[in-house]
Structure 1
């Protein structure tokens, strides 16, 4: 599996050079809010501030998408990912898609 310190939003790493661009690596997760989560989230909105139940849901979805992307890149033969990004979209009532993606590459020390 690719180490998290070999994933960057930039397009290179100090002291390493990209020797091969392999292709797009991605991880996707679709999450839904439970009835209990919606109820607790609604209660938290009454008082304002951070809606922790939704924050935790988003953090977990991002983590899962990130891990799936790393696994995808490893399966493609990469040892690093450049140009890493997250995107999320509501795709239905209470359904959110979280996508992690980047360019799977092979890097070697300079």
Structure 2
């Protein structure tokens, strides 16, 4: 289980891959939220990555592109949840689809909820 607590614009929110948050109860389920990013590789990036494959090991150009793309999708999902009035997102998942050669869609999605601390 991955769980994160963060603050954005003085709004505290929780994000987890689990279906619940220990110590909290779900007061309201707001529905699915998502962040979608579609990216393409540049010609220069593709050539640089091709050169890195000759040496073997980590292809850092693609690793960085993947990290930035997933991070952007994650942030967009959080913004969507905040717009819905959520203070938490549960059951977070990622999906990626190659739309065409060199163009990939990354989707980060979960269930937006309102939570409150359990008493006792």
Using structure 1 for the length normalisation, give the TM-score.
Answer: 0.95
1:85 aligned onto 2:93: yes
Q: Relative to 1, partners in 2 of residues 1:18 and 1:84: Cα closer, same or farther, differing over 3 Å?
A: same
RMSD of equivalent CA atoms: 1.1
The residue that corresponds to 1:30 in the other structure is 38
Moved over 2 A (4+): 1-4
When the two structures are aligned, how many residues end up with a matched partner?
Answer: 109
Distance 1:91 1:24 in 2: 23
Deviations 1:65-86 (A, max 9, x none): 0000000011111110000001
Does residue 64 of structure 1 match 2:72?
A: yes
Is the aligned partner of 1:74 residue 2:82?
A: yes
Higher relative helix content: 1
Partner residue of 2:102? 94
1:3 offset after TM fit, Å? 4.6
More strand as a share of residues: 2
Q: RCO (CA 8 Å, sep 6+): is it higher in 1 or 2?
A: 1
Runs of at least 5 residues in structure 2 that lack an aligned partner in the other structure: 1-7
Give the whole-Å Cα distance in 2 for the aligned partners of 1:68 and 1:3: 16
The question of 1:49 aligning with 2:31 is answered no
